[in-house]
Amino acid sequence: MTMLLLFGLFAVLVVLQIPIAFAMGLSSLAVIGFTQPVPLTIVVQRIGSGLDSFVLLAIPLFVLSGHLLNRGGIADRIFEFAAAMVGHIRGGLAHVNVVASMIFAGMSGVAQADAAGLGVVEVNAMKKEGFDAAFAAAVSASSAIIGPIIPPSVIMVVYAVMVQASVADLFLAGFLPGILMGLTLMVMIYWLVSTGRTPAPKPVPFSARRLGTTFVRALPALMAPVLLTAGLLMGVATPTELGAVTAIYAAILGVAYKELDYKGLIEAARETLMTCGIMAFIIACAVPFGWVVATSQAPMKLAAFMMEFSDSKWVILAVINIGLLLIGCFMETTAILLIATPTLFPLIVALGVDPVHFGIILVVNLLIGTLTPPFGVILFIMMDIAKISLGQMVRAVIPFYIPLFLTLMVVTYWEGFVLLIPRLFGKV
Amino acid sequence: MKFLSSTIRSIERVEQALGIFLVLAIVAMVGVQVVSRYFFNQPMAWVEELSTYCFIWTVFVGASIALKQDRHIAITALELCLSDAQKRWLKVLIWISVLAFLLIMIPHGYKVMQVEARSNSVSLPVDIPRMWFYSLPLTLACISMLITSIAGVYQSLVNAFNGMTPVLINSKPDNLI
């Protein structure tokens, strides 16, 4: 009952276009005030202390790294290197786009920053070569969501804090699904181009010399994901510390490339401040909301109900996936994560699904949600960059749902694949 | 109104300077901590705590700026089915809801501050009441947002009555996964 009231009120407020953070705060205030025997001060206490976690500090650090890398001319160098590596494959720059996004994913943890930074480089390069603008935008949009799947990943940090899983394990578990997503996207591009469904200019022949020179030029930038990956695999530093190292390295890189000055640094810090104020504020306001959900016992009842309905792990995971994908069409990603995790977690524990495995399923699912209309943020960003309409954008992105859903299926049903690297190097 | 909006602008400038300083301070502190831990074998536990407190301040200061710039994320589907006049009244409703939230938060924030003033932080070398890291930044941000939302209610009412240009609510796609 409490739960219905809470969700109902929240839904009404969100439909009325009240900002999500305030809608969460208001609905928890109302529900606690009318139905719970606790004083309202608990809401203030929970919001105020909800962010007290050294793990969450990884958020501003990786967001700042992302902003610094996206302005430091680093995107251009990585794109050139990727072009020398895979530009000769049929489909040319479209493959380059995916590979560059995968490399970039190894240092940036926010899909939005990748879409707005590297995305501009990718779309412009493809349009200049003669690719269709909508196709270029669709490839860049689908490859941008690899960013938060390959570590670092801000969304994984939020999930890890909520279920008290290890951020390092989640990061390690993200590598293979991210690479799989990139490869399946490339297969789809190859098929679209070779069957003539998408016009593509002739690719440039492969040149070892070009690969060598672009590699040397990109080497300092390539060191960032290498450092981060090595740090994670060896487990020498916490993700938060690696975030600080990446941010400082990105700043030094920008200065060395003479593309970052004092003004740029301040601007990057200002954008990071805004991201914290918008996203982490939702996280803070979700703490009392999650508290109401947990005390209402509803997640336990949901777990019992679902287990009665079917005791097969696979059926329930399929139901969860479909439900989340539907919600993802209409709701903002962080908000779904913050509400779905406490609601579904007892069910997940009862089913015996590994929390790290479920985290990856959730992350991949929610990121696909950023590409589904009508509320798909990455679609909006890309439409803006490529100067096309929502209709054109959606039509162009439809074929790419196939590799994305395929990745989601593999991630959901092949636990050994997701947990391979964390089992080898982590603590799972 | 002119006084109110110039006050809001000055508050925003102070908040922005403070927020940028805090973000850079967090990077510097965690960076120094890594160096001292791995190169000099001297972990500094209080740095972890202090940088976390800076983060809490950053978030609430940032939230306050975001409200001033109308950048908080909302699901803007309803306005697609509304007329311009209805949109303007919806905006009034949104600002009143935000105002109501803040009006409840501030007095309770004050109560929590008094409780938290009596307990201390864990590992900082000096004794500072917990209030300084939890309820104080939240309550201050709420007060700053209250001033913003009073101006917001006033401005949206003026727009609704005069039928001024429709305002797109939260038009920027600011999702930040």
- Residue B56's closest chain A neighbor by CA? A51
Which chain A residues contact residue B69 at CB under 8 A? 274
Partner B contacted by A391 (CB < 8 A): no
Contact: A270, B58; criterion CB under 8 Å? no
Q: Which of residues 216-245 of A touch B (CB under 8 A)?
A: 236-237, 240-241, 243-245
Portion of chain A with pLDDT greater than 70, in percent:
99
Model confidence band, residue B177 (pLDDT cutoffs 50, 70, 90):
very low
What is the distance between the alpha carbons of residues A372 and A379, in angstroms, rounded to a whole number?
8
Chains A–B, number of C-beta pairs less than 8 Å apart: 229
Partner A contacted by B17 (CB < 8 A): no
Q: What is the pLDDT of residues B95-118, one digit of tens each?
A: 999 999 999 999 999 999 888 888
- Distance from the Cα of B144 to chain A's closest Cα (Å) equals 14
The reported pLDDT for the residue numbered B121 is 65
Lowest mean pLDDT among A274-288, A292-306, A336-350: A292-306
Contact: A60, B75; criterion CB under 8 Å? no
The reported pLDDT for the residue numbered B47 is 86
What is the distance between the alpha carbons of residues A402 and A54, in angstroms, rounded to a whole number?
38
Least CB-CB distance to A60: which of B23, B79, B134?
B23
H-helix segments, A310-354: 313-330, 333-351
Cβ neighbors of A46 (< 8 A, separation 6 or more) are A287, A288, A291
φ, ψ for residue B168 (rounded to 5)? -80, 125
Selected for mutation to probe chain B from A10, A43, A44 (highest B CB count within 10 Å) is: A44
Q: How far is CA A380 from CA A16, A136, B37, in A?
A: 21, 14, 43
DSSP A271-302: HHHHHIIIIIHHHHHHHHHHHHHHHTTHHHHH
Which chain B residues contact residue A248 at CB under 8 A? 27, 31
Coil/strand/helix, residue A197: coil
What does the pLDDT average to over B38-51?
Answer: 82
Residue B175 has pLDDT above 50, yes or no: no
In angstroms, the first-to-last Cα distance of chain B is 37
Portion of chain A with pLDDT greater than 90, in percent:
61
What is the distance between the alpha carbons of residues A66 and A53, in angstroms, rounded to a whole number?
21
Q: What is the pLDDT of residues A365-387, one digit of tens each?
A: 999 999 998 888 899 889 989 99
Cβ neighbors of A413 (< 8 A, separation 6 or more) are A314, A317
The reported pLDDT for the residue numbered B42 is 76
Tokens 């209610």: give the residue: B153
What does the pLDDT average to over A393-403?
Answer: 96
Contact: B31, A237; criterion CB under 8 Å? no
The DSSP bridge partners found for residue B129 are: B120
What is the distance between the alpha carbons of residues A25 and A196, in angstroms, rounded to a whole number?
52
Residue A29 has pLDDT above 90, yes or no: yes
Tokens 């609905």: give the residue: A27
φ, ψ for residue B120 (rounded to 5)? -105, 160
Residue A235 has pLDDT above 90, yes or no: no
Which chain A residues contact residue B22 at CB under 8 A? 273
- Distance from the Cα of A267 to chain B's closest Cα (Å) equals 9
In angstroms, the first-to-last Cα distance of chain A is 37
Are the C-beta atoms of residues A19 and B72 closer than 8 Å to each other?
yes
DSSP A53: -
φ, ψ for residue B129 (rounded to 5)? -60, 145
Residue A9 has pLDDT above 80, yes or no: yes
Q: Over B112-174, what HEC string results?
A: HHHHHCCCECCCCCCCCEHHHCCHHHHHHHHHHHHHHHHHHHHHHHHHHHHCCCCCCCCCCCC
Q: What is the pLDDT of residues A49-90, one digit of tens each?
A: 889 888 999 999 999 998 888 776 788 889 999 999 999 999
The reported pLDDT for the residue numbered A182 is 96
Model confidence band, residue B173 (pLDDT cutoffs 50, 70, 90):
very low
Partner B contacted by A295 (CB < 8 A): no
Model confidence band, residue A428 (pLDDT cutoffs 50, 70, 90):
low
Contact: A280, B112; criterion CB under 8 Å? no
Q: What is the pLDDT of residues B10-36, one digit of tens each?
A: 999 999 999 999 999 999 999 988 888
Partner B contacted by A412 (CB < 8 A): no
Q: Which of residues 74-103 of B touch A (CB under 8 A)?
A: 74-79, 90, 93-94, 97-98, 100-101
Residue A398 has pLDDT above 80, yes or no: yes
Q: Which of residues 148-177 of B touch A (CB under 8 A)?
A: 169-170, 173-177
Q: What is the pLDDT of residues A131-144, one digit of tens each?
A: 999 999 999 999 99
What is the distance between the alpha carbons of residues B83 and B150, in angstroms, rounded to a whole number?
25
DSSP A151: S
The reported pLDDT for the residue numbered A72 is 61
Are the C-beta atoms of residues B154 and B147 closer than 8 Å to each other?
no
Partner A contacted by B55 (CB < 8 A): yes
Q: Which of residues 5-34 of A touch B (CB under 8 A)?
A: 13-22, 25-26, 29
Contact: A16, B52; criterion CB under 8 Å? no
Q: Which of residues 117-136 of B touch A (CB under 8 A)?
A: 133-135
Q: Which two tokens stand for residue B153?
A: 């209610």
Residue A95 CB-density burial (10 A; 0-12 exposed, 13-18 middle, 19+ buried):
buried
Partner A contacted by B24 (CB < 8 A): yes
